Chains A and B, each alone.
Chain A
Amino acid sequence: MRQFMQYVISGLATGSIYALVALGLALIYRSTRILNFAHGDMATTGTFVAFSLLGMNLAPIISFPLAILSGSLLAMLFYFAILVPAQRRNATPLGQIILTVGLGLILQGLISYLWGTDTKTLDFPLSDTKLWRFQGLVISELGLGTFVIGLLGSGLLYLLVQKTRLGIAMRATSENLTAAQTLGIPTRMILSLSWGLAAGLSVLAGVFLAPALLLDPFFMLEPFLKGFAAAILGGLNSLPGAILGGLIIGVAESLAGGYITIAFKNTLAFLIIIVILMVRHEGLLGTEFKERV
């Protein structure tokens, strides 16, 4: 039983990171109906920026926010420079998804070119060897920090979306674009902010994942796919669903790794995706879109 609780706790810590990634994906999908395949690469870019800033002896408290900001600016730039012109030329939804694939490739190549493909370690203020104990359960300082940041990030996003004027404008834009425009909401600005916010969350996730994994140009691929799985599990257009999905995937993965086999730990997320898509493809908390001819 104690072992079970131990697995659940370490699962919750990684799950909160998946939740951050999933939140970003859901935020973008909800507002623009685009699945962002460049999400992982945006996070990687931001994390490498953090790596470089730390290398210049900047304090983590300054360099991490700067890295998050750089990720957000990158996403907003992509929205204005690529997506808006494509939409003006009547790009199909599929075409817009492929555009994000293209962006992902560009970022991936540039990161490999600028920083090299060798693995690096990020000097992180929290260590994952310092352990904390509560009644026999062990959690590393990093795991605890990750969990707190995950909850904090999700909580702040919840407050932003539910309680502020900006959040109301964001919800209105994703609900009905033309109606929002008619009411005088600057929808382009709002949508680009959604992109920026989502990318910022993903960089946050990347920065907290980098010390646990090693930092190389492809280190976000797997967490990104699991974030995808989490977003689908919770329902792609539901923000609480994304958090729930992230935590469930984290715990399920940790339990499967502990009790079944560590080798197929990563395959589990895809099994979950496929089962969910077959059984209830709108996800746990999502709502289905009906389509007409």
Chain B
Amino acid sequence: MDLTESYREEMRLIRKPWTGAGIGMIVLALLVIPWLKMDYLVYMATVVFIYAIGIQGQNILIGYTGQISFGQAGFLAIGAYTFGHASALGIPLPLGLLAAGAMAGIFGVIVGFPSLRLKGPYLAIATMGFGIAIYQILLNSEVISGGRMGMTVKKMPALFGMTQQVTFYYFTLLLALIFTLISYNTISSYAGRAFIAIRDNDIAAEAMGVNLARYKLLSFGMSSFYLGVQGALFSLLIGFLEPNLFTFMESVTIFVGVIIGGLASIGGSIMGAAFVILVPQLLGAMKELVPVIFGVTILVILIFEPHGIAGRWLKIRLYFRNWPFR
């Protein structure tokens, strides 16, 4: 949508001063939220930040690289349990997070290997099988998961005189911002262009000199790293892990977040995360209807607005750019 005149402008993260001001305002608002003393709001925002990380990662895989995956719950579980065991061993928190991401990333690369030969639906099934297999392994091996009894994870300590909840809020906000920056920079780097080329036509991309194996696996590894970190943060949030947190529904939630936010849009992923977390809250007692809302939204979005919330937002902005004239 934007016309750029030089490579340098193309590479710039924020192209217009107004965009910069807008992002600054949003970040400032997020920094101020805990001062309102509304615990529920802080909690919901924390959950949105946590999900935003994983959904961005999945958008890199599904939206940019075009490799469909339904195994998200498996990677979340790997990240969460790696972190749980690491913190039980007394490994410091940042290292534990890194380990969670790295472990999920390694598994992501392993799951990515079939993607070198499989496409579209086949890959969807292979990854779905992986997610459900991980769930069943967790159910059946008490050594790893503590069985149905679950395992407790030590929550983050309170720092700088803030309450534990607010500390964790700022911590997840910081991580979400870091991961957002990483995503934006990856997409405008060689790797990101390679991902997009693979999505648009993998055979043509290979003919143009993109190393298919390397970049598909990189995309899988990266997106799984994001999910691993999300899983670890999630275990920190609730302080308790059990296999039933990682059912197929969890994969679906993240997948729906990607679709609703908008394929191939980092900003959209964040909006998608907000959607999948906040909309179920509006339903209140009627939790059974959450899948119905998700399903209807998927149908409406895919038929009427394939680019999701991000696409609609772009259209609104373009409309108002030279507003009374069109």
Binding site for B on A (CB under 8 A): 29, 35, 37, 82, 85-86, 89, 91, 93-95, 97-99, 101-110, 112-113, 117, 221, 225, 228-229, 232, 236, 263-264, 266-267, 269-271, 273-274, 277-278, 281, 291-293
Contacts and interface: CB of A to CB of B under 8 A. Distances in A.
Interface residues of B, number: 45
Contact of B68 (A94, A108, A113, A277): A94
Given A102-B297, A267-B133, A273-B126, 11 more contacts: A35-B124, A95-B306, A99-B298, A101-B255, A108-B291, A108-B295, A109-B288, A228-B125, A229-B129, A266-B136, A273-B125
Given A221-B248, A277-B114, A106 B295 contact: yes
Interface stretch (B22-30, B174-182, B199-207, B315-323): B199-207
- Going nearest first, the 8 A-B pairs with the smallest beta carbon separation are A102-B298, A270-B129, A105-B295, A106-B295, A109-B292, A109-B291, A112-B288, A35-B121
Nearest to B297: A102
B37 interface: no
A178 B117 CA distance: 29
Given A228-B125, A232-B122, A266-B136, A106 B207 contact: no
B292 A106 contact: yes
Interface string B271-288: 000000000000000101
A236 B126 CA distance: 14
Interface string B137-155: 1001000000000000000
Contacts of A107: 295
B118 A293 contact: no
Given A264-B136, A293-B203, A91 B303 contact: yes
Contacts of B130: 270, 274
Nearest to A232: B125
Interface in B71-91: none
B294 A263 contact: no
B103 interface: no
Interface in B88-132: 113-114, 117-118, 120-122, 124-126, 128-130, 132
A281 B122 contact: yes
Interface-centre pick from B121, B126, B259, B296 (highest chain A CB count, 10 A): B121
- Of A102, A113, A117, A232, most buried by chain B (CB within 10 Å of CB) is A102
